[in-house]
Each structure stands twice: as structure tokens, then as C-alpha cells.
Amino acid sequence: MKIVWTRLAANGWQEVATYILQTFGVKALQEFEQRTYEAEKEVSFMPNIGAIEWNDPTTNVIYRYIVINRRSKMLYFIDQDTLYIADFWDVRKQH
């Protein structure tokens, strides 16, 4: 399965990574990077593994998420044979 990151996802991931590095240090950032990679692999093999965040009625796209760590989650959707990483959320913020 092809994996595509949206610009929103790349920016969201960077924000979370920067926060983790500044607050918890290099080791925590490395764990976040590893967990992100593992989540990508899990979702690409089992696309329905994530819980449904919402179903967009205008596009019929089902957005799912997978928890990366206690404070962040990865939002994604599948379109044909492509996994789109749509966003990364710090779950302490309101979206």
C-alpha cells in the first residue's frame, strides 16, 4: 500500500515532535518517531485497525485514528490502494 502524508500531517507531526523534544528530551522523541513508523506499518497492513474519528458525508471518506502515545494520535484515511496520513493531533488540544 502506498503511503502519502498530507502537508497538514507533516506540520502536525513536527509540532508534536518539537514539543516532545523540548519537554521530554531526545529519547522521548526517538520513541515517538519509532512509534509513528510502527503505526504506519500497522495501518498499511490492517487499514481498519483504527477507530473511526468521523465519516465525511460530502466525500464518503472515513477518517480513522490510531494512538501514537498517551498525548498524540495519527488521523488517516484510505482511498483505493493509498493510505493518507491526514493529520497528527495533540489530544490535549481541542480540534
The answer on pLDDT for 9 being more than 60 is yes
In-domain check, residue 95: no
% of the chain surpassing 70 pLDDT: 96
Q: What is the DSSP letter of 51?
A: E
Q: What is the mean pLDDT of the chain?
A: 92
In-domain check, residue 70: yes
The answer on pLDDT for 95 being more than 90 is no
The count of domains in the chain is 1
Do the Cβ atoms of 91 and 73 come closer than 8 Å?
Answer: yes
In-domain check, residue 53: yes
Greater pLDDT, 1 or 7: 7
Task: Note the pLDDT of residue 94.
Answer: 47
pLDDT in tens, 30-70: 999 999 999 999 999 999 999 999 998 998 899 999 999 88
Compute the CA torsion angle 72, 87, 25, 31 (nearest 10 deg): 70
The answer on pLDDT for 91 being more than 90 is no
Task: Note the pLDDT of residue 93.
Answer: 56
CATH number at residue 39: 3.30.2310.20
